[in-house]
Structure 1
Amino acid sequence: MSFIEVTVTASEEYAEILIAELGELGFDTFQDTENGFQAYIEEDRFEEEALQEVLERYRFAGEFPYQTKSIAKQNWNEEWEKNFEPLLISDKVSVRADFHEKPEGVAYDIVITPKMSFGTGHHETTTLMIENQLTLDHVGKRILDMGCGTGILAIMAEQLGARQVLAVDIEDWTVENARENAERNNCATLEVRLGDASVLTGEAPFELILANINRNVLLEDMPVYSQLLLPNGPLVLSGFYTQDLPLLQERAAELGLAFESSRTKNNWVSAIFRKNS
């Protein structure tokens, strides 16, 4: 399978806006550059006309030059291996590739190979989600990870003591990658499933739900999360900007989910809500 890499030149202010817009077009992996960002999408889902329409919508702010190229799945992995640096989150969680040595003194060690899947810990939302996970009790709990990407949050959940973890993503290569990463980290309770919120029909309730997706999907799927979450259970969300938080808070309140806390990094947010008992 090949992917389209789109390199866009944009200021930091508009890069954030354009990333959110391209997320609605099906782009699901983004990488900052010195002059803007790169966005990735499966080749058969790429519509250049739709991309141009988004850029034209913000023409009032100036020109946003872009370049496209097709990249093979294996080339992405080679590029990632050349540039990936091990990561330490909150001085407790190591996120690394298998060709890095395990650092000393960390409580949790996660080994991943992304293969085009989102979520290495280097993106702000993944880091923020892990930081929030570290504040929550996972021991003996049944946990859902929606939009699992590499499976990093689900792996973190198991390492934090979850008794059962279900990870769900809409992309087949992502599901394959998350399964490989789960095996790489010797996960025993983690199931990875292909699909969207509809595959949760008939599921038993969860005691904690993680969802790092994007604003619109979160708003659409929040009723499902609320229905499946046990009373007093935390719902941890990310994939949206600070200006979007009031929308999420309003929707959550309508569904009996009380806002508890949030943390931010470079305008990205991860928020914790809790289902009313």
Structure 2
Amino acid sequence: MDFIEVTVTAAPDYADILIAELGELGFDTFQETDTGFQAYIYEDQFSEEAVQEVLERYKFAGAFPYEVKTIAKQNWNEEWEKNFEPLLISGQVSVRADFHPKPEGVTYDVVITPKMSFGTGHHETTTLMIENQLTLNHVGKRVLDMGCGTGILAIMAEQLGAQNVLAVDIEDWTVENAKENAARNGCSTLEVKLGDAAVLAAEAPFDLVLANINRNVLLEDMPEYSRLLLPQGPLVLSGFYTEDLPAIQAKAEEQGLAFESMRTKNNWVSAVFRKNA
């Protein structure tokens, strides 16, 4: 399925507000630009009228020009190769394409070809998730990566020593991409499945659960994350804003998950919870 890219011109003070509003419409990936931001949504979920209604509500702050573009799956490589730059996270993790040379002195090297799957590490949520992963013991653990996208977090989990990794996503071409990236990084313990939380019904418990999705899905699936997590196991979440943290935290606590820590970047959050004994 194709994506719709909406490029909005907006000052930083209103960009965050508009991103939050568009998130409620189903947009689940955002990228800052020099003049505002770009928002992405599946083509079948897009309503230009709904976008116009959001922008109209804030017309008191001025005009917010926007452009709509369809990005076809087959065109994604061309799009990202134009702009994709290698990334260094916490001085330890290199995220790069295969046409970039491996940098010297890094502990972990992740090679990604994202195609139409989002998760190159350049988005704040992916970076925050990896930063949190670096603080958690993965050695010998069974790890779940929900909403895996390119598979970057699952690949990172294996490189951090996980014994078994399951990555799950709802799009068939995303699953295909995650499998390709897993092979590209020499992963041997990583399995990728198509589906949502329902495919986890028969799964054994996990030592660690990673979920970088969006606020609404996280709230809906929190009971399943808790059910699957072993006592004292960490749950690492991202894909939501600072103002969403109270709702996320309240839902987590209802499910026996205690808030432990958080990281923020440009109003995005990655929070670590731990299941009670």
Which range, TM-score by smaller chain? over 0.9
Partner of 2:13: 13
Name whichever of 161-170 and 27-36 sits farther off.
27-36
Name whichever of 259-268 and 15-24 sits farther off.
15-24
Partner of 2:73: 73
Q: Tell me if structure 2 keeps the 8 A contact 1:215–1:244.
A: yes
Q: Does residue 36 of the first structure (1) align with residue 36 of the second (2)?
A: yes
Give the 3 Å change call, closer, same or farther, for CA 176–17 of structure 1 in structure 2: farther
Three-state SS of the structure 1 residue aligned to 2:5 is: strand
Partner of 1:124: 124
Amino acid at match of 1:65: P
Matched residues in 1 for 2:234 and 2:10: separation?
Answer: 37
Three-state SS of the structure 1 residue aligned to 2:203 is: coil
Partner of 1:258: 258
Give the gaps of 5 or more residues in structure 1. none
How much does 1:70 deviate?
2.4
Partner of 1:135: 135
Partner of 2:237: 237
Matched residues in 1 for 2:246 and 2:28: separation?
Answer: 24
Matched residues in 2 for 1:187 and 1:93: separation?
Answer: 16
Matched residues in 2 for 1:57 and 1:173: separation?
Answer: 36
Matched residues in 2 for 1:79 and 1:101: separation?
Answer: 20
How much does 1:238 deviate?
0.8
TM-score w.r.t. length of structure 2 = 0.94
Amino acid at match of 1:250: A
Partner of 2:100: 100
Matched residues in 1 for 2:43 and 2:211: separation?
Answer: 26
Identity across aligned pairs (percent)?
82
Partner of 2:170: 170
Amino acid at match of 1:168: V
Q: Render the CA deviation track for 1:126-177: whole Å, top value 9, x for unaligned.
A: 1110010000000111110011111100000011111111111112221111
Q: Render the CA deviation track for 1:229-264: whole Å, top value 9, x for unaligned.
A: 000000001111112212222211111111111111
How much does 1:4 deviate?
2.3
Q: Tell me if structure 1 keeps the 8 A contact 2:11–2:36.
A: yes
TM-score w.r.t. length of structure 1 = 0.94
Q: Render the CA deviation track for 1:194-233: whole Å, top value 9, x for unaligned.
A: 1111111121111000011111211111111011100000
How much does 1:60 deviate?
4.1
Q: Tell me if structure 2 keeps the 8 A contact 1:28–1:118.
A: no
Three-state SS of the structure 1 residue aligned to 2:273 is: strand
Q: Tell me if structure 1 keeps the 8 A contact 2:28–2:214.
A: no
Matched residues in 2 for 1:266 and 1:27: separation?
Answer: 18
Three-state SS of the structure 2 residue aligned to 1:16 is: helix
Runs ≥4 in structure 1, deviation > 6 angstroms? none
Three-state SS of the structure 1 residue aligned to 2:182 is: helix
Matched residues in 2 for 1:2 and 1:269: separation?
Answer: 28
Name whichever of 114-123 and 56-65 sits farther off.
56-65
- Tell me how many residue pairs correspond in the alignment: 277
Give the 3 Å change call, closer, same or farther, for CA 177–139 of structure 1 in structure 2: same
Give the 3 Å change call, closer, same or farther, for CA 41–276 of structure 1 in structure 2: same
Partner of 1:90: 90
Give the 3 Å change call, closer, same or farther, for CA 241–2 of structure 1 in structure 2: closer
Q: Tell me if structure 2 keeps the 8 A contact 1:29–1:117.
A: no
Three-state SS of the structure 2 residue aligned to 1:162 is: coil
Amino acid at match of 1:59: K
Q: Tell me if structure 2 keeps the 8 A contact 1:145–1:210.
A: yes
